[in-house]
């Protein structure tokens, strides 16, 4: 994901849009006429253009949509099947995902781990922002079991702000993420907390899940390679968090 | 005494729900029980947030008398391991 540093244009021509959706240009023209996917503006010559956001929505590219939602100053409206405004909705969608995964062959053994990892990341968003959501509350939660990917995002205060309440010495997002994944420190001291991301890291390293989590301008990647934590700088700042789990 | 966690749900993940689960069971706890066995059968997933709340409260009452029954569920094993590490870390502070 982070390899593509090319600046992404917000508006695409019809050829680019067709390539992104893997359909023909004629198909896009047809969809524009029928209203299935309307072009948003035309030049005087009648060229069709498409907003990248809408194409991603159409593609149900959960990760790109979550990223757009998390990093935009004014976030787009999310489709309701991705948005969990309050925790009970997240819990019930997580259960639905868990039950579905248990029925799939090749998944039942690791499904409990995947559900627990997604649950811990999603719960962190609610636990650490309750009563303090800067703007849009809740989480983005999308998954595609066929593509073996789960995406979670929030527009909360972010991991650095949360940890600085108890560790004012933390000055960078990278430090904050490193501490979050390696130390048992709570962002809600004196309450006992701070297990979730240690658990995520251990499970990911032990069972070969891919986990990528961004907060601020830092991204932490966990893989099952030895010494599995890698940090990187993200191309776009996200105040809250954005996570991708692959399995 | 045996506590079947599946009675609290299949996906035991949220910290507030762990607290609530203990609050629900508290009135029926007999403080003189020689052992409290935790039965993990029938749950899909357990995570440290729920487990920390529930088992810490249970341990406050029963201490070493809390016993975990064996489970094949990988999330149970991983959760209990992380909780042990967390306890060890807080003892070292």
Task: State the complex-level ipTM.
Answer: 0.94
A121 contacts: CB under 8 Å, gap ≥ 6 = A152, A196, A197, A200, A213, A241, A243, A245
Q: Which of A212, A211, A218 shows the shortest CA–CA distance to A235?
A: A218
Hey, are the CB atoms on A203 and B78 less than 8 Å from each other? Answer: yes
Q: Which helix (H) or strand (E) holds A230?
A: strand A229-246
Structure-token match 């929030």, residue found: A154
d(CA B14, CA A86): 13
Whole-number pLDDT of residue A2: 47
Mean pLDDT of the residues in chain B: 93
d(CA B55, CA A94): 23
Contact residues, chain B, for A203 at CB < 8 Å: 78
Whole-number pLDDT of residue A191: 58
Residue A43 has pLDDT above 80, yes or no: no
pTM over 0.95: no
- Please tell me which residue, A189 or A22, carries the higher pLDDT value: A22
Say what the alpha-carbon torsion angle B70, A110, A240, A4 is, to the nearest 10 degrees: 150
**A22's tokens:** 């893997």
Residue A5 has pLDDT above 70, yes or no: no
Mean pLDDT of A138-147: 90
Contact of B69 with B38, CB cutoff 8 Å: yes
Torsion over CA: B92, A186, A88, A243 (sign): negative
Q: What is the largest CA-CA distance in chain B?
A: 37
Q: Which of A86, A131, A164, A128 shows the shortest CA–CA distance to A240?
A: A128
Establish, for the pair of chains A and B, how many residue pairs have beta carbons separated by less than 8 Å. Answer: 98
Contact residues, chain A, for B73 at CB < 8 Å: 112
Contact residues, chain A, for B17 at CB < 8 Å: 91
Whole-number pLDDT of residue A193: 64
Residue A139 pairs in a beta bridge with A84, A154
Contact residues, chain A, for B45 at CB < 8 Å: 98, 111-113, 115-116, 119
Hey, are the CB atoms on A115 and B16 less than 8 Å from each other? Answer: no
Burial class (CB in 10 A: 0-12, 13-18, 19+), A70: buried
d(CA B59, CA A190): 19
Q: Note the pLDDT tens digit of each residue in A47-97.
A: 899 988 888 777 767 888 899 999 999 998 888 889 999 999 999 999 999
Contact of A241 with A153, CB cutoff 8 Å: yes
Mutate to test the interface with A, among B10, B19, B47, B60 (most CBs of A within 10 A): B47
Mean pLDDT of the residues in chain A: 87
Q: Which range among A14-18, A110-114, A120-124, A157-161 shows the weakest confidence by mean pLDDT?
A: A14-18
Instruction: Find the angle CA(A101)-CA(A2)-CA(B75) to the nearest 5 degrees.
Output: 30
Per DSSP, A235 falls in state E
Q: Note the pLDDT tens digit of each residue in B72-81.
A: 999 999 999 9
Whole-number pLDDT of residue A98: 94
Hey, are the CB atoms on B86 and A194 less than 8 Å from each other? Answer: yes
Whole-number pLDDT of residue A1: 46
A29 contacts: CB under 8 Å, gap ≥ 6 = A14, A48
Contact of A153 with A66, CB cutoff 8 Å: yes
Q: Note the pLDDT tens digit of each residue in A181-238.
A: 998 876 555 555 678 999 999 999 999 899 999 999 999 999 766 567 999 999 899 9
Hey, are the CB atoms on A115 and B11 less than 8 Å from each other? Answer: yes
Residue A120 has pLDDT above 70, yes or no: yes
- CB-nearest to A195 from B46, B76, B82 is B82
Residue A166 has pLDDT above 90, yes or no: no
Contact of A125 with A181, CB cutoff 8 Å: no
Mean pLDDT of A116-121: 98
Mean pLDDT of A139-157: 92
Whole-number pLDDT of residue A224: 63
Contact of A105 with A192, CB cutoff 8 Å: no
The span from the first CA to the last CA of chain A, in angstroms, equals 16
- Chain B CB within 8 Å of residue A167 CB: no
Contact residues, chain B, for A139 at CB < 8 Å: none
Whole-number pLDDT of residue A4: 46
Whole-number pLDDT of residue A109: 92
């Amino acid at each position: 994901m982070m390899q593509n540093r090319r600046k992404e244009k917000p508006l695409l021509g019809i050829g680019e849009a067709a390539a992104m959706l893997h359909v023909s240009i004629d198909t896009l023209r047809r969809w524009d006429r029928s209203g299935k996917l309307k072009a948003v503006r035309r030049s005087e010559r009648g060229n069709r253009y498409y907003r990248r956001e809408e194409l991603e929505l159409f593609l149900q590219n959960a990760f790109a949509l979550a990223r757009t939602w998390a990093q935009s100053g004014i976030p787009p409206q999310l489709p309701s099947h991705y948005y969990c405004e309050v925790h009970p909705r997240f819990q019930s969608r997580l259960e639905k995902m868990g039950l579905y995964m248990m029925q799939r062959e090749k998944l039942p053994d690791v499904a409990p781990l995947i559900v627990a990892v997604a649950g811990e990341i999603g719960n962190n968003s609610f636990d650490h922002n309750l009563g303090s959501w800067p703007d849009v509350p809740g989480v983005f939660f999308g998954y595609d079991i066929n593509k073996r990917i789960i995406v979670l995002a929030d527009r909360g205060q972010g991991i650095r702000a949360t940890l600085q309440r108890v560790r004012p010495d933390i000055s960078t997002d990278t430090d904050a993420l490193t501490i979050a994944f390696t130390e048992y420190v709570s962002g809600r001291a004196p309450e006992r907390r701070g297990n979730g991301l240690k658990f995520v890291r251990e499970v990911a390293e032990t069972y070969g899940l891919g986990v990528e989590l961004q907060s601020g301008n830092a991204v932490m990647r966990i893989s099952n390679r030895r010494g599995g934590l890698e940090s990187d700088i993200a191309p776009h700042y996200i105040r809250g968090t954005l996570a991708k789990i692959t399995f | 005494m045996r506590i079947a966690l599946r009675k609290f749900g299949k996906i035991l993940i949220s910290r507030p729900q762990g607290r609530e689960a203990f609050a629900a069971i508290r009135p029926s706890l007999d403080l003189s029980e020689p052992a409290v066995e935790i039965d993990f059968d029938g749950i899909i997933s357990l995570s440290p947030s729920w487990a920390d709340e529930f088992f810490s409260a249970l341990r406050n009452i029963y201490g070493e008398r809390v016993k975990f029954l064996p489970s094949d569920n990988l999330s149970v094993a991983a959760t209990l391991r992380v909780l042990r590490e967390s306890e060890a870390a807080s003892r070292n502070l």
